[in-house]
Amino acid sequence: MTRRSRFKSQSGSYNDALPWNVNLHAVSTLDKLAFLLGLQKQVYGIIIDAGSTGSRVLAFTFHETYLDRTLKLDSELFVQVKPGLSSYADNPKKGAESLEELLDRAKSVIPASDWASTPLAMKATAGLRLLPGHQADSLLKEVKKSFDLSPFLTNDNSVTIMDGVDEGLFSWFTVNFLLDRLGGNVENTVAALDLGGGSTQITFAPSDEATIKHSNPEFLHRISVFHNNLTVYTHSYLGLGLMAARKEVLSVGNPDNSLVLRSECINPIITGKEWTYNKITYTVKGPQNPEYKTIKGNANSEAEKRPIVRFTECTKIVKQYVGTKVDKPAELNLKEINAFSYYFDRATEYGLIDPFSGGVVSVKDFQKAAITTCDTPNTEQPFMCLDLTFISVLLQDGFGLKPDTKLNLFKKIDGHELSWALGAVFHILQNGL
């Protein structure tokens, strides 16, 4: 008998039944034998993640288990292109064309005989949420035209802008699915922190009744997983993605609509760095009144005056932007936390963790990295001081995490990408497009 597990939000953002087993990655001896005899049915699904900074295709390969016909994840193709779809707001046809390379790559890993039965969906996130409605609609229409001409299975629901709440729930489910944390005690589940370019999501399953009692009801969603009813806390903050925040912080103190942005969060050594955001190219510079730090010399060298970022001033600006926008669920400090996307990227670029294996850091490590980076002139990474400062402020002043709170930073778990796309494709395979 097929065992089906319900994963449904009673708030209205979900209505799916997902065929996920508790022993998610376990493969039985009979399963292995069925594979060798060619008795397992392969199942495929394609998700295009149209984010604010780039578009990614994830083409998933599953097999149905021999006995109960539930789905097991085998592999996925992950390919990305830049810039993001929202960058083509003034040329939606070209935006749709930018996805063709991704579809071609998906074709390369899925047998042609299965194309017609393989569902294809594009879900846009913060980049399109931030666009004026008419521009977002034009992009969606052009992508829909392109999808209609593809050999894959599509319908009118194949191209959508995904709600931030759904993005958070899908990410949380994916992380816990890959860690085999579902189907048991809610205290065993992990929290998911996802930092994108345009928005950020925080999602976890509270085990403390006080969290449920004192949280904004809009942040709480009742779901059913493996026949267990859970309350999941999730909230998406539009505008608190890394790139969106960078733009707002850089704009502080400059005239409205200025294309030249001077900032206290940029080292004075930067006198004209071009940066493009939402198809607008800005010239970024350090402050007009630079700060210098004297580095003592030794017997063979003189003292050196080094240009630095005023870390206190930069932090003040970032704190004003993050402000009171972010809820601080106290229980988050007690949860095991997996943080990914730009949390992982900036940690690897600074050297906090290995880019291949990932690692565990504490919240204060981001602050220490920010202080060190802001104290060091670096023309190759002119935004690292700002980015690390924003992450540090978001974690501590935004989410209320304590300095010693640990963060698991991984790009993959069990060889699979950490992405909301996995949850999305399961939803589609079970319920249709």
Binding residues for ATP: 197-201
The pair of three-digit structure tokens given for residue 260, joined into one six-digit string: 């030249």
Q: In DSSP terms, which residues pair with 362 in a beta bridge?
A: 406
Q: Are 222 and 211 in contact (CB under 8 A)?
A: no
Instruction: For helices 242-251 and 311-322, give the axis angle rounded to 10 degrees.
Output: 120
Q: Assess contact for 318 and 393: CB atoms under 8 A.
A: yes
Per the DSSP assignment, residues forming a β-bridge with 81 are: 55
Using DSSP bridges, classify how beta strands 273-277 and 280-285 pair: parallel, antiparallel or unpaired: antiparallel
Tokens representing 247 are: 């733009």
H or E segment to which residue 387 belongs: helix 384-393
* Backbone dihedral angles phi then psi of residue 55, each to the nearest 5 degrees: -115, 140
d(CA 91, CA 81) in angstroms, rounded, equals 17
HSE (side-chain half, CA atoms, 13 Å) at 254:
22
Q: Which residue has the tokens 């609509």?
A: 257
Residues catalogued as catalytic: 167
323: three-class secondary structure by DSSP: coil
For 274, phi then psi, to 5°, come to -80, 135
Q: Which amino acid is at 355?
A: P
Q: Which two tokens stand for residue 280?
A: 């607008």
Q: What is the DSSP string of 49-68?
A: EE-SS-EEEEEEEEEE-TTT
Is 168 in a helix, a strand, or coil? helix
294: tokens are 């004297």
Q: Distance of CA 315 to CAs 22, 289, 308, 370, 385, Å?
A: 44, 17, 14, 10, 10
